[in-house]
Amino acid sequence: MGVSEIQQDGVTILQVEGSLDADGTQVLEDKVVALLEGGASSLVFDFSNLDYINSSGLRVLVLAYQRLKKSAGKVAICGVKDYIQEVFEVSGYDKIFSMFPSRGDALTGL
């Protein structure tokens, strides 16, 4: 699992690659917590290169959502592959998160 950070139009974009499983989740969680503690108020998770996500990966997204919701911040997810979209739908998280087909759409939607 790899994660890279991009700043664009006042929004922090986290490009996540590979598998977001038990091994990779801690890396992402540390990155998200550091960004939130640093004052980030809008996060976009770009999953266009994500191949797998499990419940621990979803937990990191919920953590970001809950912390940003308290301060009127925003979380968006983009580029989700069909089979990962199913994970969001089955878990009901597609109703919690703003989901967009592309990074540009997510930036516009925030």
Return the amino acid letter for 48.
S
Please indicate, yes or no, if residue 109 is contained in any of the structural domains: no
Instruction: Note the pLDDT of residue 22.
Output: 85
Domain total of the chain: 1
Return the amino acid letter for 28.
L
| Domain enclosing residue 16, as ranges | 2-104
What are the average pLDDT values for consecutive 10-residue runs of the chain, which has 110 residues?
A: 93 96 90 96 97 94 95 95 95 95 95
DSSP 97: S
Tokens representing residue 102 in the block: 């592309």
Contact criterion met (CB below 8 Å) for 76 and 97: yes
The CATH number given to whatever domain includes residue 24 is 3.30.750.24
Supply the pTM of this predicted model.
Answer: 0.95
Instruction: Note the pLDDT of residue 23.
Output: 83
